[in-house]
Amino acid sequence: MQPRTYAEVVATVGPGLLRLGLMLTGDPLAAEDLVQETLALAHRHGDRIATMESPAAYLRRILINRHLSDQRTRARRPRETAYDDLPGHPASPDQASRVDHRDEAWRLLATLPPKQRAVLALRFYEDLADADIAAVLGCSEGTVRSNASRALATLRAHLSPPEVTR
């Protein structure tokens, strides 16, 4: 059953938007801000959004566009705070290596241009097809594949051990 009010839409899709925001920003607080900005922008059209066939896709596109716009207009760097380091989420000794690996992954993702990072988040986290990613980002499927290829090549280059010359 489709939600009938904007508040019901927000309650339904909000957690997914927050997870996507976290994947894009690498920072729980920045992700919350991004989602809040997205929902505030969409609020004035809330009645129309509530009657849409896919309000989640519409809100996801606003969130991605907002993130890309923020990246273009101001230099925002992800904070070095890991989620487990926030109050109420202490890292236990057995989690130490997981936190280290996750921090390394965030640092690598942060080196990617915003559009490449968005493509990877939509493809591997949201599990969207190239056509759906192209619709969200407002570009062609070829551009999506190109951005994904470049992003993965960059990540592979950072992860590959240096070649030993003899």
144-163 pLDDT, tens digit each: 999 999 999 998 888 777 66
Predicted confidence band of residue 94 (pLDDT cuts 50, 70, 90): low
Residue 65 belongs to a domain: yes
Residues 146 and 136: their CA atoms lie apart, in Å, by: 16
Place of tokens 């607080």: 29
Predicted confidence band of residue 82 (pLDDT cuts 50, 70, 90): very low
73, 100: one domain:
no
State the average pLDDT over residues 9-29.
Answer: 91
**pLDDT(136) > 50:** yes
- Output b/e per residue, 124-138; b: 16+ Cβ within 10 A: eebebebebbbebbe
Name the 3-class secondary structure at 65: helix
Top-confidence residue, 30 or 80: 30
Nearest to 63 by CA among 26, 25, 37: 37
62, 108: one domain:
no
Number of domains in the chain: 2
- Does pTM top 0.75 for this prediction? no
